[in-house]
Amino acid sequence: MEPMTEEERNNILQSSPIGTFALMAAVVGGMVIAWLFLYYGVFLPRG
Amino acid sequence: MNDAAERKLALSHLWVAFAAFIVACFMGEYQVLERSGLIPALESPTVYFASVSTHGVLMAFVLTTFFIMGFGYTIASTSLKQPIWNKPLAWGAFWLALFGVVLAAIPLLTGKASVLYTFYPPIVAHAAFYIGATLLVVGSWIWCTIMLVMFTQWKKANPGQNVPLAMFATAANAMLWLWASAGVALEVLFQLIPFSLGWVDDIDPGLARTLFAWTLHPIVYFWLIPAYTAFYVFVPKQAGGFLFSDEMARMAFIVLAVFALPIGFHHLYMDPEQAKGWKLLHGVGTFVVALPTLVTGFTVIASLEIAGRLRGGKGLFGWIGTLPWTNSMVLSVILSLLMLIFGGFGGIVNASYAMNAMIHNTAWVPGHFHLIFAGTTVIMYFAVAYYLWPILVRKPLFSKSMALLQLWTWFIGMSILTTPWHVLGLLGQPRRISTVVYNNLLTLSWKPYELMMILGGMILLGSACLLIYNLVKTQLSPYSETFTEEIEYAEPIHKVGVLPGYLNNLLFWNKVIAVLMAISFGFPILQFFFMNTFGSSAWGY
């Protein structure tokens, strides 16, 4: 692997963490779906 | 670390913590075996509840308190670059807390304190248990005092400068614990000790449960904050990057310390002694305290993303593969966050006012708190131990590959243990039972899950033994003069300017806590002293 230039390094440090946004969105979305499944699929049918 | 005296102080605390941990692990495996009924010779409710009580106390009170104290001393001396204030007092706190543990252990191990780690009245333990627990807490209060004195002294000596993030988090945790432990202290001093000594004939379980709820939720954050501290101040550096935001980290610690306190009634959703309006208020607060965890997740993952990209990672998720997975701190945080996702989901279900009824007092609850505490939190205690031990003993870690194996097996074992535990809760298995003495289709459906839990427990026990073996071998290995490693704190990406007072001081937040506690606990506690009890003793006096 070629060594990183100073410009590339600065670009990384200044860039938005888009991977983190995507991961957090997936986790929060997954939690909402799981909560809705538990509420409508398990809790309410039990009466 | 500054000198040998500081290292000895921290190491002594950490050894007590991990000694308690390994004893408790053996008890945990016995408990899943006993509960499954697989080995009839093991079945004994008396031994089981003595074991569960000791396991809970060792894990929740001894491992945590001693670890947090030892970790705090290390953070204070290395981040502030000054010796521990009043070391004789610090040693006094250590011996007092240790004496308290021994005093409490006697009734626990002889079956005279089988009251579980929540010790809810009217079940009552031998007075030595409560007095021992009190001494442990008093020892921790001295630690809190030392942390806050050092925090204040440093600020006076360095006017206009920002307190290092690690020390800010540690001081916030000390402040949190002083507030949090006041509830259980009132319960123990004014209700349980007099009741256990026979000074009073009656006890009000409603008041006791209310006071315990004061402590029961923030104590979780007292345990968790050192793990989050490691997330913020060690992980980014170990991953080869920078902390995404120092200010967001401080804000997260403040919100944790402030909003962890006035929310304990989500433990009382099913209790009759508090009105539903108070429960709803605390329930809303419970969701507020989820925010700093989301902020922490974001900040730590963003820090890892920067590190992964600096190591050549490309694309939306390509940076994950380039992270140093063979670094025990980095591996731990990844596994910790994975367990936090599933444990956090369980917590949201617990906090949901209506849905709580479905899982209340079922096996789901211990499944949840094992995943959050023994998973998310304790795996970071391991990571900190692997990081600090070589620095404290001035010798390299005995085996890095063994440490990685231990972390993976802890994660796998915890997943195998807690997943069926949650399912058992949904299948209706109550918590706090030792054996099922009847057979029907419902209880038979629990069997496969209980057998899985035995396997999970065995993996965890093996993993715990690996940890202790590695630490002992590190300690006993020959002294290395060439060992020069020091603690390295992560730097933020952007240099932090002069912070506003509310991000660099705790006085304002103390006042906020006082107001919130008065609102959320004032009337709910006072009502016990004024309500008409129709001829029965009001609260024991």
**Which two tokens mark B415?**
């997943």
User: What is the per-residue pLDDT across B205-243, written as a single tens digit (0 to 9) for each?
Assistant: 999 999 999 999 999 999 999 999 999 999 999 999 999
**pLDDT average, residue stretch B269-292:** 93
* B33 and B454 Cβ atoms separated by less than 8 Å: yes
Contact A24 B298 (CB under 8 A): yes
Among B47, B349, B394, smallest CA distance to A41 is for: B349
- Domain total in chain A: 1
Kindly list the domain boundaries of chain B, sorted by start residue.
4-493+512-530
**Which two tokens mark B462?**
């093996």
Which residues in chain A have their CB less than 8 angstroms from residue B321's CB?
Answer: none
What string of DSSP letters covers B200-247? -S---HHHHHHHHHHHHTHHHHHHHHHHHHHHHHTHHHHTTS-BS-HH
Alpha carbon of B387 to those of B79, B195, B523: distances in Å? 15, 45, 46
Reported as a pLDDT band with limits 50, 70 and 90, residue B6 is very high
Q: Is the confidence at residue B541, as pLDDT, over 60?
A: no
pLDDT at residue B240 in the model:
96
Most confident range, picked from B281-290, B313-322, B472-481 = B313-322
pLDDT at residue B8 in the model:
97
User: How far, in Å, CA of B373 to CA of B4, rounded?
Assistant: 32
CB pairs under 8 A between A and B: 58
Which residues in chain A have their CB less than 8 angstroms from residue B352's CB?
Answer: 35, 39
A37 part of a folded domain: yes
Among A8, A21, A29, smallest CA distance to B314 is for: A8
State yes or no: is B309 an active-site residue.
no
State yes or no: is B221 an active-site residue.
yes
Which residues in chain A have their CB less than 8 angstroms from residue B298's CB?
Answer: 20, 24
User: How far, in Å, CA of B355 to CA of B285, rounded?
Assistant: 17
Catalytic residue among B130, B221, B342, B411: B221
Average pLDDT score over chain B: 95
A34 part of a folded domain: yes
Reported as a pLDDT band with limits 50, 70 and 90, residue B163 is very high
A2 part of a folded domain: no
State yes or no: is B541 an active-site residue.
no
**pLDDT average, residue stretch B73-86:** 97
**Which two tokens mark B26?**
């053996």
User: How far, in Å, CA of B239 to CA of B259, rounded?
Assistant: 31
State the ipTM, two decimals: 0.94
Q: Return the exposure string of B178-191: e unless at least 16 CB atoms fall within 10 Å of the residue's CB, then b.
A: bbbbbbbbbbbebb
Give the residue with greater pLDDT, B201 vs B26. B26
Q: Is the confidence at residue B540, as pLDDT, over 70?
A: no
Reported as a pLDDT band with limits 50, 70 and 90, residue B435 is confident
| Domain region containing A31 | 18-47
Query: Taking the complete model, does pTM exceed 0.80, yes or no?
Result: yes
Q: What is the nearest CA distance from A44 to chain B, expressed in angstroms?
A: 9
Q: What are phi and psi of A41, to 5 degrees?
A: -95, -25
Which residues in chain B have their CB less than 8 angstroms from residue A31's CB?
Answer: 341, 344-345, 348
Tell me which residue in B297, B354, B358 faces A24 most closely, judged by beta carbons. Answer: B297
User: What is the per-residue pLDDT across B467-487, written as a single tens digit (0 to 9) for each?
Assistant: 999 999 999 998 777 888 899
pLDDT at residue A39 in the model:
97
A27 part of a folded domain: yes
pLDDT at residue A24 in the model:
97
pLDDT at residue B185 in the model:
97
Among B339, B329, B330, B336, smallest CA distance to B304 is for: B330
Q: Over the Cα atoms of chain A, what is R_g?
A: 20
A6 part of a folded domain: no
Domain B4-493+512-530 in CATH 1.20.210.10? The answer is: yes
Q: What is the nearest CA distance from B417 to chain A, expressed in angstroms?
A: 21
pLDDT at residue B438 in the model:
75
Average pLDDT score over chain A: 93
pLDDT at residue B381 in the model:
98
Q: Is the confidence at residue A47, as pLDDT, over 80?
A: no
Question: In percent, how much of chain B has pLDDT > 70?
Answer: 98
Which residues are within 8 A (CB) of B182 and not within 5 positions of it... i.e. 6 or more apart?
B214, B215
Catalytic residue among B49, B370, B398, B411: B370
